[in-house]
Amino acid sequence: MDRSNGSPSGREEGESGKTKYYVLMEELKSDIIAGRLRPGDKLPSENELSASRHVSRHTVRKALSILAQEGFIEAEHGRGTFVSRKNGRGKSSSLSFGGMDYRGSGNIAVITTYLSDYIFPRLIQGIDSVLTAEGYSIILKNTGNSRVKESRCLEEILEKDIDGLIVEPSKSEILCANMALYEKLDFYQIPYVFIQGYYAQMKNKPHILMDDCMGGYLVTNYLIELGHRRILGIFKADDSQGRERHKGYVKALFEAGYPYDPDMVIWFHTEDRAVKPAKVLELMLESGAAMDGIVCYNDQIALEVLKALQKKKIRVPEDISVTGYDNSFIAENGAVKLTTIAHPQEKLGAMAAELLLEKIKGVPDEESRVERILKPELIVRESCMERRKGE
């Protein structure tokens, strides 16, 4: 039987190739997010939607079911279907900015990939110093750089009464898996600011970043200026910082006239970061790969590289120079003091908080006083050594 000629298949398709219920769902969601349908507004009945959109009632039911599952609408028995009102949004407190009063909950959510180690305590301290001065309380969450955990964190904060969100995206080099949840934030008009990366689909959203391309360039160029010729790069594949630092590494090699060798780059992911960089380096050394310098994704990776080199009885910096990134406590307190890139953790956190406050107040981008890109600074210590020509 040819189901394409009017027989019911359950998959009514429009000209775009998408099912009609999905097209209708997207259109209604767009109206909600854009504010054409506001919280508390009553939707047309199934019969009315069926007639006005020229689709079956079955199609309308499927579209409404998806919107209800995603929290955009809710049905009230005997009354109809309404655009959702977010739980708790009615609570308010009075806050003051520059002599003007703004009403809100007084709560800001902060989601980072980690909380208690590395650069994150100082980053959060920078956020807290600005927000507490303005009378806000902070709700802290962390994802462990997991997109599944990011989803849970977003779902949890959407159930709370918050005025804004600062979020470090999880695996920002991969397309966002939680667009529906970010669309809910837009729907509820909750402003949010990305830090240390953003998703490709959301590049126009407010964000505060380090110029990581320039940082990768600075450490690589420093080694080149010291006479290094065979420079290994170790970079993280699943976040945008790794991509940008690699881009800077490539740029420095290109400007110096050195060929880019993909075999001289080790890529790792969040799940194998504790093992892969050092293990692959050991295998390369055992196979006789020649190198005189190593550019590491961050100070944590540099520390593992130092351990691997020590195991092979290779001296740093006498035999191989090593650079880190972030200027963390690791860089200053290890057996070999690391040449690295300064990461102004507190400043970045404070800038993100200041930008979010502007968004809460409705300050347009053209009137913003917050810098969006932080410039890196090279910190020279003991882990690099000049190479004589011909070495």
pLDDT of residue 308: 97
In this predicted structure, the answer to whether residue 132 has a pLDDT above a threshold of 70 is yes
pLDDT band at 14 (very low <50, low <70, confident <90, very high): low
277: cis peptide before it, omega within 30°? no
Higher pLDDT among residues 385 and 1, named by residue: 385
Lowest mean pLDDT among 7-16, 106-115, 334-343: 7-16
What average pLDDT does the chain have?
A: 90
DSSP state of 19: B
Lowest mean pLDDT among 46-55, 88-97, 218-227: 88-97
Q: Are 177 and 151 in contact (CB under 8 A)?
A: yes
Instruction: For residue 361, give the H/E element and its range.
Output: helix 345-361
**What percentage of the chain reaches a pLDDT higher than 70?**
90
Query: Could you report the per-residue pLDDT of 198-208, keeping only the tens digit for each?
Result: 999 999 999 99
pLDDT of residue 264: 98
d(C-alpha 190, C-alpha 161), whole Å: 10
pLDDT of residue 15: 53
pLDDT of residue 337: 97
pLDDT of residue 391: 53
Query: Could you report the per-residue pLDDT of 269-298, keeping only the tens digit for each?
Result: 999 999 999 999 999 999 999 999 999 999
Provide the b/e sequence for 286-320 (b: ≥16 CB within 10 Å): eeeeebbbbbbbbbbbbbbbbebbeeeeeebbeeb
pLDDT band at 85 (very low <50, low <70, confident <90, very high): confident
Confidence (pTM): 0.78
